[in-house]
Amino acid sequence: MRKFGIVLALLVVLIALLVGCSGSREQDIETILASELLRSQGIEINEPERPYYRFSAREDFDIEVALHVLGEHGSYYFTPGGWTDELIGDLVAVSEDGLRFAKDFLGIEVSHPLSFVFNVTEPTDDHPMPMWGGGGVFGTSAYISMEARLLPSLIVHEAVHAILRYDERQSNFPMPPETALMGHAMFLEEGLCDLIDFLFAAQTEHPYRTNYGNNHLHIEASRTLNRRNNFADEAEFGTRYPELMSYETAASFVYFLLEHHGTIGDFMRVFDDIYLMEEVYGVSMYDMIAKWMAYLEQF
């Protein structure tokens, strides 16, 4: 009798799981195009005019797309497979809010919707963009490719990159040595992107993942500095501002400047030209980094 009760209980749990998962099963394109849920959210979804989106990079490449939504702030494309109307609705809603937040924070006007391509199916080896588990910006277009369960995330981070490209802003902050694992990373820009992503997550009503989970930027930066021995490895981090050669520390440094030493306008002057550091903030970059590291000792 006890065995029968256990088996019956397991069957009930299994049925409940199957029912609970049924709403998240992949839907075909026709079902999504006819979605009442999306219509009720004011989202007009269509098949794109062309079955691919062309990214402009050093070498142009095409990504196959199956669905398209034109919003006020973004133009959203979805690659074939893995989608539900609920997930698409969530991505469009958070992207519209996130793009607005990023533009307002930076104070940069963008005259047209920025393009985002979302992918939730793991690419094959011959895929034109084999990226998986991350995102990137090519020109002013963003591509985010990861498992559906990890979304929404990275949207605001990549949006900031795209907005800066649109505004033709590129910092002259030094990059790590070419021999480094991330030798071409523009960490002052990455820090700004991570910060705005983090701040959006803190205020949005939408579920949204960041690289920091429930931790504060400054806590993560302090841990990173300790873990990497204050970035003393010159071959990996160089000799010019090595403490800022990571996402976590750069984001924390930018936040420290905005919290305690001026406005986003002040920071953007230094972003454009780091040699204006002393003119804008009254101290050298090395001295400001020392102030920031002393500030992190409380975390």
Q: Is the pLDDT of residue 235 over 90?
A: no
Question: Tens of pLDDT along 146-156?
Answer: 999 999 999 99
Note whether 285 and 274 are within 8 A (CB): yes
Whether residues 200 and 162 share a domain: the answer is: no
| Structural domain includes residue 6 | no
Residue 16 lies in a domain: no
Out of 166, 200, 233, a domain closes at: 166
Q: Is residue 18 part of a domain?
A: no
Question: Is 178 part of any domain?
Answer: no
Residue ending a domain, among 166, 198, 213, is 166
Are residues 203 and 264 located together in one domain of the fold?
yes
Residue 13 counted as domain residue:
no
Of 166, 200, 229, the residue at which a domain comes to its end is: 166
Indicate if the alpha-carbon torsion angle 290, 291, 297, 299 is positive or negative: negative
> In the predicted model, what is the mean pLDDT of residues 76-91?
98
- Verify that 139 and 196 share a domain, yes or no: no
Amino acid identity at 88: I
Percentage above 90 pLDDT, the chain: 81
Residue 218 lies in a domain: yes
Kindly state whether residues 162 and 191 are assigned to the same domain: no
In a domain, 180, yes or no: no
Confidence of residue 24 (pLDDT cuts 50, 70, 90): low
Q: In the predicted model, is pLDDT for residue 101 greater than 60?
A: yes
Which segment, 5-19, 64-78, 177-191, is predicted with the most confidence on average?
A: 64-78
Query: What would the DSSP string read from start to end of the chain?
Result: -HHHHHHHHHHHHHHHHHHHHHTTS---HHHHHT-HHHHHTT--EE--SSSEEEE-SSS-EEEE--EEEE-SSEEEEE-SSS--HHHHHHHHHHHHHHHHHHHHHHT---SSPEEEEEE-SPPPTT-SS---SEEEEETTEEEEE--GGG-SBSHHHHHHHHHHHHTT----PPPPPTTSTTTT--HHHHHHHHHHHHHHHHH-SS--B-TTTTS-HHHHHHHHHHHTGGG--HHHH-SSSGGG-SHHHHHHHHHHHHHHS--HHHHHHHHH-GGGHHHHHSS-HHHHHHHHHHHHTT-
Round the average pLDDT of the chain to a whole number and report it: 91
Q: Are residues 121 and 241 in the same domain?
A: no
Q: Is the pLDDT of residue 8 over 60?
A: no
pLDDT per position as a tens digit, 112-133: 999 999 999 999 999 999 999 9
Q: Are residues 84 and 191 in the same domain?
A: no
Q: Both 77 and 135 in a single domain?
A: yes
Confidence of residue 58 (pLDDT cuts 50, 70, 90): confident
Q: Do both 156 and 191 map to the same domain?
A: no
pTM value is 0.90
Q: How confident is the model at residue 183 (pLDDT cuts 50, 70, 90)?
A: confident
On whether both 70 and 137 belong to a single domain, the answer is yes
Do 274 and 203 lie in one domain? The reply is yes
Residues 74 and 128 in one domain: yes
Structure confidence at residue 1 (pLDDT): 37
pLDDT value, residue 11: 39
Q: Identify the domain containing residue 264 by its residue range.
A: 187-296
In a domain, 48, yes or no: yes
Give how many domains the chain has, as a whole number: 2
Task: Give the count of beta carbons closer than 10 Å to the beta carbon of residue 249.
Answer: 30
Express each pLDDT in 237-273 by its tens digit. Answer: 998 999 999 999 999 999 999 999 999 999 999 999 9
Tell me: do 199 and 100 sit in the same domain.
no
